[in-house]
Amino acid sequence: MFELLHSKVAEKISITEAEFDLCKSLFTPKKLRKKQFLLQEGEVSRYTIFVTKGLLRSYTIDDKGVEHILQFALEGWWTADMYSFFTGEPSLFNIEALEDSEALLITRPSWESLLQQIPAFERYFRILIQNSLIATQRRLMETMSETAERKYLNFIKLYPASVQRVPQHMIASYLGITRETLSRLRRELAAGKSSA
C-alpha cells in the first residue's frame, strides 16, 4: 500500500525509515469503486490524493454541461483541486475513479504537519508542482497552437498507458475536442498510416 509512495518520494528526496513511518501515519488509505467520487463540484476539497492503484480523473463541467478533463491520475500520481484544498473555497472540479482504485488521502492539517516535521517534503512538493507546472504550460501552448490531430498524436506519445485504459470520449474531452472529431481523426490516421 505504501511502497509506491515510498519509492516515489525517495526518487526526489532522501528520508529515513523513521521519517517515512511518520509520513505513513498521516495518510488514510481508501478503496474506490469504478465511478465513485472523491470530490464533487461545490464541495471543499479536503484531501490531497496519491493514487496507489487504478485510475482517477479530475474534470469540470461548463455552463453548457460539457465536461473538460484536467487530469488523469494513474498509479503513482498525485491529484487534488489545489485551489480548493488550500483556500477552503468550494471546488469547481470533480474527482472520480475510472476503475476500481486505491488511494492514500492526506488532509490539509496533516499535510502542514508533514511539511513542518520533515522539511524535505517542502522540497519534494516543490519539485512535483514544478514539473506539473511545466507540463501544464506545455499543454496550454499546445492547445492554442496545434490541430486536433497533432494534439492527439502528442497525447498518445506522452501517455501511452492512458490511451489503453481511458475511453476515447474522455481522451477527446482532455484534448478539448469532441468525441466525433476524435473518432473521424482516428479513422483518417488509420487509413493514412497503411498507405503512407
Binding site for its own copies (CB under 8 A): 60, 62, 66, 68, 70, 82-83, 86, 115, 119, 122-123, 125-126, 129-130, 132-134, 136-141, 143-146, 176
| Per CB under 7 A, 168 contacts DNA | yes
| Per CB under 7 A, 130 contacts DNA | no
- Asked if residue 77 lies in contact with residue 165, where contact means CB atoms within 8 angstroms, the answer is no
Residue 6 binds: one of its own copies, DNA, none (C-beta under 5 to 8 A by kind): none
- Find the shortest distance in angstroms from Cβ 96 to DNA: 11
Alpha carbon distance 145, 151 (integer Å): 9
| Per CB under 7 A, 181 contacts DNA | yes
Angstrom CA distances, 180 to 50, 82, 142, 148, 171, stand at 33, 32, 20, 12, 12
Can you spell out the DSSP letters for 55-72? Answer: EEEEEEE-TTS-EEEEEE
What are 129's three cell numbers?
508542482
- Find the shortest distance in angstroms from Cβ 53 to DNA: 19
Contacts with DNA, residue ranges (CB under 7 A) = 64, 66, 147-149, 167-169, 176-184, 186-187
